[in-house]
Structure 1
Amino acid sequence: MEERHEALVGLYLNRSARHPLRVSLHEASDWACSEYEDEDEAIRVLGSTGWDVFCSVMSEIHRCTELDYNYVNDNLIGHVKPYVATRREFSVLSSFSDGIASPNISTNARWFWQSIKMAPRLTCLTVQESGKVEYIPDRLQSLKFCWPVDSVVISRLLSRATHLKTLYIGHHYQSSEPTHGSITLPGLQHLTLNETSSLSTRGAFLRELTVPALSSLEVNSEDQFSLHLFDPETADFSTLHAMLKQSSCSLQRLRLSIPTINLQSHSTIAFLQTMSDLTHLTLEYSVTSEWPSIIPDLCAPKMVPPSNDTSQASLRCLLPRLEKLSITEHSFKEPYGLAESVRNVESIITVLESEWDSSGQWSLVDLSLSFASEERTSHRRGVVFTKPLLPLDLANRVRKLKAKGLWRFTVTLPRVRSANP
């Protein structure tokens, strides 16, 4: 960092005096991370100018309404002299993102974490590691765990975080120790779970959780590395179903985006049948010859389980308030046939035409279908693929639906190997 940068930061801090700040402190992205064991090492790594700038910012840290701190540990904070950071309270801080990778807390930095815990207006918190759970305040409204965390730790924390409205839990592992027991989050509206490959990894935790105000549920997977390495697992909705049933919530948005799972038509439809208030539904999953697309069964005249005696079962009957539907199907082990994907698109179009012709209008106005063939052979050098278009007759039928009020209908067909590479 150059002296002109230091002057610019100093000018900004001086001219913004008595005004709130939004500060983001990030480590250099060269992956040459330092432990910052002492002040001399901090000066050596950051440079004397960089260290002076860091101290200048820390001297005004009490003015932050939003703070994003991303360093390998909190040693830098511990090296800041008390006479520099004279005001060690966060009276206006409302949002803090802890990007510190280490779960350990520096002895000289405990004042910082204690101030975070005591910040009277702090309602939004993002944490990387669970080692600082004792410093997480009870009054939070939004909490995000980014890295793997023990289920016992989560249970202990949530048992006192009763004001939460939004909760994100990254990959977590089930502890052999007993958890806190039943947990009720009366105000939680949005819950996001990040899974690796399975829906059943949080069994005990989800069965203990009651969320009566939940309106949005997302189950995502960010583990793209495993997509080509492991065979997909069949989705098990039992834990999610147990949580939703005991919560008696009116779920409006559901996103199941795990490309490494297969969906079984019968169990998926039975699961969706319990969510008549859904307005937004996103499904992303894997298809194989053994577990093909669920779209044909989803569009069948009678798609509900045999135990239901409804005589006129349809997509609209299943999800009468649905406004937006997005389905993405991946094929990792074998090619996804173009003809099959076109038939699936036609099934959806036929359902839309039937519902719109019978009633004149339907709440479903936004629809997206994507079919991705990502088998390993598609990455061979010299193989050229093209993106096919929807057949003309189907495209014309979509135009007629849009004329009737369908707002959006997007289709992505699987790539096909070019005849002339």
Structure 2
Amino acid sequence: MQKKGTIKKAVLAYSGGLDTSIILKWLVEEYGCEVIAFAADLGQGEELDFIPEKAKKTGASKCFIEDLREEFVRDFVFPMFRANAIYEGRYFLGTSIARPLIAKKQMEIALAEGADAVSHGATGKGNDQVRFELGYYHFDPSIHVIAPWREWDLNSRSALEAYAKKHGIPVPTSKKFPWSSDRNLLHISFEGDILEDPWAEAPEEMYVLSTRPEDAPDQPEFVEIEFKNGDPVAINGEQLSPANLLAKLNELGGKHGIGRIDLMENRYVGMKSRGVYETPGGTILEEAHRGVESITMDREVMHLRDSLIPRYAEMVYNGYWFAPEREALQTLIDDTQKTVNGMARVKLYKGHCRVVGRKSDTDSLFNVEFATFEADEVYNQADAEGFIKLNALRLRIRSMMNKKA
């Protein structure tokens, strides 16, 4: 297929790793187009330091690094956590929720720079290709998407390294940490290499954000998290911005070995894949959020919302963040959070976190006069007899019919 001349300018989602470094050069060579590199700062820290220089040396005409940390947590992570969305009951969706924001900013740069194409480094086996491209088409239905992994014949790490050597692209020479990873303020993920054996335990040197639980402090630590309309706003009385708040929870959780998970997940494209994740702050946040909800949310509202968690989590995991069904569901979820105002006290200890106290000065539905085991003047226990008989009526009728038959 003739590629040269079909594209004039492309914006590449660029991490500076092996794949996207080669993709940058490959786009220049195969399409003969101008390539603009774009990296999103979502909290991966020093990983971004070398990117501008490397991108320019590899052939990029420009390199943008956008600090998206506050937007990421405020407009993507927090709305998802209002839903308590966990994919297949275990995965906190750290990679999944980052992709729509990257796609959004990438398309903004494409528009501003007059680019006629965008590109990414996701493989044809993974979920990220779907997440990126659904985002691209949401913002511009006519955009041209270049997915090199679906076009080229560089189908192995050795082939990529040979291409890099041929074109003078520096690549890491150490294979001490051969697995792939993705990091942002919500989590860090690990895939590949030894993890492709589902029986093998992940090596301790893999973990980045968390202390080994056995080595965590021998004394528990208590943290108080305040919520307003379902979003956390303060830790131990200190008001913090969304990004700073999550970073603080990561620090606290990592210190106590909280947030490690090893799972086999079902990818959208159909295969099972093993991933190891560290989500220290997110694990604490979800536990605390549940604690405040338990005292402020109506029972049936909570049960209805909880019944929608698997569907919401699937939307995020599969890449449908900008889809109308997710937006409609978000409206419902946000309405349920209007009364989620209060504070949770969470105990952190050797890999575990649990709510040990919850309160709300404005929206608590807990009334000790009704709930007490002591004497009260507001609840007639004899009323329970009729309540039980009415609820048992269909069961009694069914039993009578069975005996008659």
TM value normalised by structure 2: 0.22
Higher relative contact order (CA 8 A, sep 6+): 2
TM-score, L = length of structure 1: 0.21
* Structure with the higher helix share, 1 or 2: 2
